[in-house]
Amino acid sequence: MNRFLLLAPVLILAACAPKSAPNSLDGRMMGTFNWMCSGNVPATVVFHEDQKLADLSIKGETIQLHRQPTTRGWIYQFGSTQISGSENRMQISSQQFGNHDCRAN
């Protein structure tokens, strides 16, 4: 019982810790991730549980992207919009939204 009481604050803090950036290698690539992109443009990506789809929200619009095969990092694309990244970095390439380098918040 005493051990549990000592560990309880640590467990509570761990549960409240922010999510790390998506990483396709260890299964963390699901959920909502916030990014700050070049030009101080915020972006949010929601990686769906099946990892086949992701929703990119940027500049007041949301677009759904489809996962593309890759041997490194991750790539999602729909039409002329593509996001790619690894760890805490993401690149957006889009005629609609422009090109941005982003870092996870």
Give the domain extent around 74: 20-104
Number of H helices, E strands in the chain: 1, 8
* CATH code, domain with 55: 2.40.128
In this structure, is residue 69 part of a structural domain? yes
Assigned domain for 74 exists? yes
**Cβ–Cβ under 8 Å, residues 44 and 54:** no
- How many domains does the chain fold into? 1
Q: What pLDDT was estimated at residue 63?
A: 97
Q: Is residue 97 part of a domain?
A: yes
> Does 13 fall in a domain?
no
d(CA 72, CA 38): 23
Please write the tens of the pLDDT for every residue from 51-61: 899 999 999 99
pLDDT digits (tens, 9 = 90+) for 59-82: 999 999 999 999 888 999 999 999
